């Protein structure tokens, strides 16, 4: 599947134009220098030759700007940097300041050149995403191995991945072992080993082995496709600060045009100087007032933040969410799959009411194979349990999954209920005489009789404790766990992390609690989750953060931020990127407006000229652009975590 985002198309066009624009600048500079030399040693040249050279330099360097100004005027857009440059330089020509007019265009084009190179560089992370996405796939058929378009892959196909090839779509390894480079997808720098039964994502690169992968998602629904879609949408969204700049630019340009006209007219009318002097000062005013530094560097700063985050395996859905990310003051967590690994190991089975262990396993495995809950996955992937059964699993006649509760099924005429303690004991009134309270559990009811209780062990993710400690040090208080698991299970995790907790929660209970937290104060709240029962809370939180490696589709759709490697510690990296991005944005705003205000005042008082004005304008723009690129340079290495 080949996806080309608007940003990538823009980057390609920029690169294609760089060579031609470079030649224009170099030839323009040569003609300009020749014209200056001709003016100094005029006796060596024919009369007016320096004028011809300087005019040629002006046209060569300025024709694109003059043409764009004309196009914009024909469309009713009078006030932009092209219009300002054209008016200022033609005015300089009218005053006989031809070298200054050429300098304005030349400096502006040089600044524009560096800006385009900077923009192209900042978008390299998006091009890297596209390179992850294979166009072709090899599949195993009855007639042998054949190559097809990745778009034509179907679920159930058996893809063959050789050493040095990328996985074309999400699936499960059925044969072979290899170490995978997942850095482009998750930000994880260390190779990840996979074996039969391992889940793999599109875009992962086999470093040292061959694999056969059963395709579970079509290419257009794969991890890479979701990433590209998220980043494409993110680049199209504007944050409040970016919208503020766009809004300011709309009124700013006509305002400075009006001030420039007043500068040219009022002082001479009040007998405070000559018309030529004040007309020249108004041109200086126009040149320095160009809002280029703002309108270029602010969006570039946000895009830099989005690109840097993507490099780290953190997908942010838009610049408005970078702003929200930077303002987070409270963090709420789901437990299973977010703070804990969600890779449960069966610790024991208790049977009740004379139900045989074999029947319990037959019914439970048959029903749970359709569930995406971590406990269900752990149960169905337990090879020892499958070995206990001497016959195939029975057919499921009816099944309904109840998010946050469990499932109801009909198997071989038997009514099956499997779920958590809150649902089966408190809501439905069943009584389980178990000594295993406090563990992660699946309770089983067969024909309205308690049949079994299975309990599991789970472990904290390696980044969980570091994240919570670091956030507390950063002044983010009020962290808590909202979980649908039983009280003792949640309490055990919460105590180890020194967090407040709420247990036995249905999805609507989580949402109600979050609403309560939001009403209690004006602190921005982030919610980290991964399951389908987290989707409503992820959508409602100020910032919804989903664990994207194996999070549910509903959670990923509802989230504003996706952490691709499932490491909660990456939230800290994302927070630091967001905060750095906002610092750079406001640095650029203050830098641009502050220096422009000083030079505009100096120009009004006659202490500067067009040369200094254009140098200041282009210089400030270049400074702001390179300041924006600091975000990408700081996070250019994949898998980098901040202390």
In the block, tokens 């959508």 appear at 539
Q: How far apart are CA 295 and CA 300, in angstroms?
A: 9
Q: Which DSSP letter does residue 330 get?
A: E
Q: In what order do the strands lie in the sheet with 192-194?
A: 192-194, 178-181, 205-206
Residues paired with residue 408 on neighbouring β-strands, in sequence order: 400, 417
Residues paired with residue 543 on neighbouring β-strands, in sequence order: 526
Q: If residue 256 lies in a helix (H) or strand (E), which one and from where to where?
A: helix 240-269
Q: How far apart are CA 42 and CA 57, in angstroms?
A: 18
509 has catalytic annotation: no
Instruction: Confirm if 193 and 177 have CB atoms less than 8 A apart.
Output: yes
Closest Cα partner for 90 from 68, 76, 105? 105
Q: How far apart are CA 480 and CA 209, in angstroms?
A: 43
Which parts of 343-480 fold into alpha helices (H)?
A: 357-368, 374-380, 383-388, 421, 462-473
Q: If residue 401 lies in a helix (H) or strand (E), which one and from where to where?
A: strand 396-402
Output the 3-class SS for 101-164: HHHHHHHHHHHHHHHHHHHHHHCHHHHHHHHCCCCEEEEEECCEEEEEEHHHCCCCCEEEECCC
Instruction: Confirm if 281 and 606 have CB atoms less than 8 A apart.
Output: yes
Q: Name the active-site residue from 334, 485, 509, 542.
A: 334
Instruction: Confirm if 215 and 157 have CB atoms less than 8 A apart.
Output: yes
Q: How far apart are CA 624 and CA 588, in angstroms?
A: 5
* Residues annotated as catalytic (active site), given as ranges: 334
């Amino acid at each position: 599947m080949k996806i080309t985002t608007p940003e990538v198309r823009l980057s390609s066009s920029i690169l294609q134009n760089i060579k031609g624009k470079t030649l224009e600048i170099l030839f323009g500079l040569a003609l300009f220098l020749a014209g200056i030399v001709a003016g100094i040693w005029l006796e060596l040249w024919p009369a007016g030759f320096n004028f011809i050279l300087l005019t040629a330099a002006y046209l060569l360097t300025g024709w694109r700007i003059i043409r764009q100004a004309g196009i914009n005027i024909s469309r009713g857009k009078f006030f932009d940097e092209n219009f300002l440059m054209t008016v200022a330089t033609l005015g300089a020509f009218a005053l006989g300041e031809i070298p200054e007019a050429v300098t304005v265009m030349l400096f502006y084009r040089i600044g524009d050149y560096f800006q385009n190179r900077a923009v192209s560089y900042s978008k390299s992370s998006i091009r890297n995403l596209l390179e992850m996405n294979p166009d072709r796939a090899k599949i195993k058929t009855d007639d042998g191995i054949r190559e097809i378009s990745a778009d034509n892959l179907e679920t159930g196909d058996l893809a063959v991945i050789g050493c040095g090839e990328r996985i074309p779509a999400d699936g499960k390894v059925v044969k072979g072992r290899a170490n995978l480079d997942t850095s482009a997808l998750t930000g994880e720098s260390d190779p990840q080993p996979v074996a039969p039964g391992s889940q793999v994502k599109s875009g992962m690169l086999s470093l040292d082995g061959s694999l056969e992968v059963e395709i579970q998602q079509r290419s257009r629904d794969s991890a890479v496709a979701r990433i590209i879609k998220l980043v494409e949408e993110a680049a199209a969204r504007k944050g409040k600060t970016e919208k503020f700049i766009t809004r300011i630019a709309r009124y700013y340009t006509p305002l400075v045009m009006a001030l420039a006209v007043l500068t040219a007219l009022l002082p001479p009318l009040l007998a405070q100087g000559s018309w030529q002097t004040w007309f020249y000062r108004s041109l200086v005013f126009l040149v320095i007032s160009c809002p280029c530094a703002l309108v270029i560097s602010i969006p570039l700063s946000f895009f830099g933040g989005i690109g840097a985050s993507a490099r780290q395996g953190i997908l942010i859905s838009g610049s408005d969410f970078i702003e929200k990310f930077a303002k987070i003051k409270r963090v709420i967590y789901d437990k299973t799959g977010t703070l804990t690994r969600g890779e449960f190991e069966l610790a024991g089975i208790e049977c009740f009411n004379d139900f045989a262990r074999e029947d319990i396993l037959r019914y439970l495995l048959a029903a749970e194979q359709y569930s995406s809950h971590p406990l269900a996955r752990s149960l169905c992937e337990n090879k020892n349990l499958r070995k206990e059964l001497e016959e195939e699993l029975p057919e499921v006649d009816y099944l309904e999954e109840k998010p946050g509760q469990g499932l109801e099924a009909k198997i071989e005429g038997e009514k099956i209920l499997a779920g958590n303690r809150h649902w089966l004991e408190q809501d439905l009134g069943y009584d389980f005489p178990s000594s295993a309270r406090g563990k992660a559990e699946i309770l089983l009811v067969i024909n309205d009789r308690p049949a079994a209780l299975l309990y599991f062990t789970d472990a904290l993710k390696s980044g969980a404790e570091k994240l919570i400690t670091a956030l507390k040090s950063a002044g983010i208080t009020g962290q808590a766990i909202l979980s649908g698991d039983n009280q003792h299970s949640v309490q055990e995790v919460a105590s180890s992390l020194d967090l407040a907790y709420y247990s036995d929660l249905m999805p609507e209970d989580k949402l109600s609690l979050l609403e309560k937290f939001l009403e209690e104060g004006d602190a921005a709240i982030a919610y980290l989750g991964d399951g389908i029962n987290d989707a409503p809370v992820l959508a409602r939180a100020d910032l919804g953060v989903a664990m994207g490696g194996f999070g549910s589709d509903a959670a990923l759709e509802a989230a504003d931020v996706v952490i691709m490697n499932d490491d909660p510690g990456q939230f800290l990296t994302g927070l630091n990127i967001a905060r750095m991005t906002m610092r750079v944005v406001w640095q650029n705003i203050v830098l641009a407006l502050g220096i422009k205000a000083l030079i505009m005042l100096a120009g009004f008082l006659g202490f500067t000229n067009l040369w200094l004005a254009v140098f200041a304008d282009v210089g400030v723009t270049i400074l702001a652009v390179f300041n924006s690129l600091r975000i990408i340079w700081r996070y250019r290495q994949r898998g980098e975590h901040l202390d």
